[in-house]
Amino acid sequence: MTDHPAADAKNWGGRLPRNETLDLDDEQQAVADQIRDRSVRWAERSGFAPTDDQGGLIGPFNAFVLRPGQAAGFNQWVQHDQKHSSLPKAIREVVILTVGLAWDADYEIYAHVAVGRTAGLSETVIEGLRSGSTDGFTRDEAAAHRFTDQLVRTHRVDDEAYAAAEEAFGRDGVLDMVHLIGMYLATSALLNAFEVPA
């Protein structure tokens, strides 16, 4: 994790105002309530903090409240993907962490290390993702990481990495992986643009 200026505990919103400090309109309040009802409970079950000590939303959740229309569309995409993805949960977390680490998105890394552990990722894989070593990865974990890392860092995937991913996950799995990469590129961009701390 890098040391960003926004990491001061008094500024969990980074460059954004905390929604608790604003007079939210009805649409914003509805999104805040929905996040508290769904996302906060999921995050807590997964082992990471979606709120501060006073219950204020942190991470991307604060930003979602500020732009409820965009948040609704994005969250619908995420929920549909979670429900219908052909990828195993642990492989999804390999993909998400690979994106977050490539972007150095502190909150994403913090949150999805916890989610990855809940999904069954070993400490060897988590540390390997951090260090860039795939020693100790399963064939599928290595294929998901290599495909994702190439696409995120070079904007292309070579034939060997593509073939390994298709062999491991099938065509539908590769499509699901690309959608998941897109979601977490968007999340990383949101977190980094506004210097949202972990």
SS3 content of the chain, % helix, strand, coil (to 5): 70, 0, 30
From CA 113, how far away is CA 66, in angstroms rounded?
26
Rg (alpha carbons) of the chain, rounded to whole number: 17
CATH H-level superfamily of 86-193: AhpD-like (1.20.1290.10)
Task: Determine the distance from the C-alpha atom of residue 164 to the mean position of all C-alpha atoms in its chain, rounded to a whole number.
Answer: 24
Which residues of the chain are in CATH 1.20.1290.10 domains?
86-193
Q: CB–CB of 191/12 below 8 Å?
A: no
Which residues of the chain are under the pLDDT cut of 70?
1-10
pLDDT at 21: 85
pLDDT 10s digits, 46-85: 999 999 888 889 999 999 999 999 988 898 898 899 899 9
SS3 (DSSP) at 6: helix
3-state secondary structure of 57: strand
Contact 187, 105 (CB under 8 A): yes
Instruction: Answer whether 71's CB lies under 8 Å from 102's CB.
Output: no
Q: What are phi and psi of 51, to 5 degrees?
A: -135, 160
Encoding tokens for residue 141? Answer: 């974990």
168: which 2 tokens? 């491991």
Task: Please give the model's pTM, rounded to 2 decimal places.
Answer: 0.91
Residue 180's pLDDT is what? 97
Phi-psi bin for 22: left (phi > 0), alpha (psi -120 to 50), beta?
beta
